Amino acid sequence: MEIAVAGRGTPVGGMVTDGSQHQATRIELLPDLSHCIQTRAKQEHSATMSKIMSGDQSPELEQRLELLRAFLDEADFSRLRRESEEHLTRGRKVRFVLSGSTGKDKWSVEMKVGDSA
């Protein structure tokens, strides 16, 4: 089962493409009953920021940080939590795939539900 949510007019679904040469960044976030999607996104943002602050100034990390910041600022976490917890409480694995194109203020998130955890 897949549920997709878009941010800022981004097409819903897999990779974000806009016909230009912008490369898409993809991040997987794995919530559980102890750590919701927002918490996982904050943890990933902190880990990415720590890598950058320790000297890794790679464009990939900066793109990752921008994508996470946009997601944290714009996502409807109440809805995402509600939808994911419905599956998590039934013992199913939930995975969010966050995608965004660099240099753009666009992102999309896709929730994938698997069999029992």
Residues 93, 114: contact at Cβ < 8 Å? yes
**Percent with pLDDT over 90 in the chain:** 68
Phi-psi region of 91 (alpha: psi -120 to 50; beta: other; left: phi over 0): left
3-state helix, strand, coil in the chain (%, to 5): 40, 25, 35
Tens digits of residue pLDDT in 46-100 = 999 999 999 998 999 999 999 999 999 999 999 999 999 999 999 999 999 999 9
Residues 6 or more apart from 11 whose CB is under 8 A from it?
Answer: 17, 108
Instruction: Identify the DSSP state of 6.
Output: E
Amino acid occupying residue 15: M
This model's pTM is above 0.75: yes
